[in-house]
Amino acid sequence: MTTEWKINRYGTDRALDPQPLRFAFYGRVSTEDQQDPEASRAWQLSRSRALIEPAGGQVVAEFFDIGLPRSLPWKRRPEASRLLAALRDPRRGFDAVVIGEPQRAFYGNQFGLTFPVFEHYGVALWVPEVSGAVDPGSDAHDLVMALYGGMSKGERNRIKVRVRSAMAAQAATEGRFLGGRPPYGYQLADAGPHPNPSKAADGRRLHRLEADPLTAPVVRRIYAEYLAGNGIFAIAEGLTRDGILSPSAYDRRRNPHRTTDAWSKSAVRVILANPRYTGRQVWNKQRKTEVLIDVDDVALGHETKLRWNPAEEWIYSGALAHEPLVDDETFTESRPSSPPRAGAPMGSESRGPASATTCCPVSCTAASANDA
């Protein structure tokens, strides 16, 4: 009979009992870059089994998070949180945990915040990078795991930089529509197969904006009335009085939580402040910012919130990307005096074109893009 291995908290000891070692497998995959969750789970599980099977181990439980960013702490991942809860149960049914790809499991300092829980409950953690169980008394093991956490954070940051750089170039040079819902006054039209062969093979297609025959005239009316001297409140009242559906009422999917059909001042202001009505594609108007959930408990991690970028950081296409509903001069003269701010009132309600000292982002940015 072949001698088997029996787990302890520091690694393996020889034992006469030929019972297989029981492992729980943990993995994670993000679907942001179109990864196949099933394929990712399969190779992470295969790598885990290649590590534990020579020691007589077998996977008896699986915990696999799908579609979650690696920056999310373990307590806020459903499957990782379930695994942490299982560690507390003496009848958990497994003796150790194996992770096939630590960079997908631990981000930044997450290992240092999580591994003490494993140690407390006497559950070993196996990873290929140390060829077995992580030894809590080994400085080398601690350094290796910290290194992979740092590499995970660096990889995520590099992906973000690459994606943002690519999207900026696509918006500026190609005028490509980069997703999201179309502005009021436009609708999506097919623009052909996706230029990325793998995405095209999956049926992905590009889209462009085209004028909506029902709402484009409303946008032109708003600009015309504003230039004629009507205030934002008067414009909103006139549209409601004439029975014209507001943006949320015209397309309930835009704001399903709103039930009113009346126009608001903020809806009119947003239309007057949107440079895409000049026919140019605009990107980077807003950014996702990670904000600490609790400054007194950093381990809880961050939550993502949208913030407005300064107008000078917006990216404009050098040429027209879709049919303009207003010209540059009309847009410049119609801009509200205060830009929108995320999470705050939309700004001053005063009537009047932009200050003469304020540079129109369409003309300035487009000029600099053409000069480049």
Interatomic CA distance for residues 188 and 171, integer angstroms: 16
HSE of 162, CA atoms in CB hemisphere, 13 A:
7
Q: Please say whether the beta carbons of 302 and 291 come within 8 A.
A: yes
Burial class (CB in 10 A: 0-12, 13-18, 19+), 113: middle
Burial class (CB in 10 A: 0-12, 13-18, 19+), 209: buried
pLDDT confidence of residue 198: 66
Torsion angle (degrees, nearest 10) of CA 234, 235, 240, 244: 170
Domain ranges of the chain: 4-153, 175-371
Check residue 4 and report its DSSP letter. E
pLDDT in tens, the chain (372 residues): 343 444 444 444 444 455 678 999 999 998 665 578 898 999 999 999 999 999 999 999 999 999 888 888 899 999 999 999 999 999 999 999 999 999 888 988 888 889 999 999 999 999 998 999 999 888 888 888 888 877 777 676 777 777 777 777 877 777 777 777 889 999 988 878 877 776 666 677 888 889 999 999 999 999 999 999 999 999 999 999 999 999 988 887 777 777 677 899 999 999 998 989 999 888 887 777 777 777 666 666 667 788 888 888 888 888 888 899 999 899 988 876 554 444 433 333 333 333 333 334 443 333 333 323
Extract the tokens encoding 48: 């885990």
Burial class (CB in 10 A: 0-12, 13-18, 19+), 273: buried
**Beta pairing class for 124-127 and 96-99:** parallel
Extract the tokens encoding 98: 């194996």
Interatomic CA distance for residues 141 and 119, integer angstroms: 14
Residue 345's nearest CA partner among 308, 291, 314, 292 is 308
Strand ranges (E), 199-253: 205-211
Residue 272, phi then psi, degrees to nearest 5? -70, -20
CATH of 4-153, one of 3.40.50.1390, 3.40.640.10, 3.20.20.10, 1.10.800.10: 3.40.50.1390
Check residue 299 and report its DSSP letter. G
Please give the CATH superfamily to which domain 175-371 belongs. Putative Large Serine Recombinase; Chain B, Domain 2 (3.90.1750.20)
Interatomic CA distance for residues 159 and 176, integer angstroms: 20
Q: Please say whether the beta carbons of 283 and 174 come within 8 A.
A: no
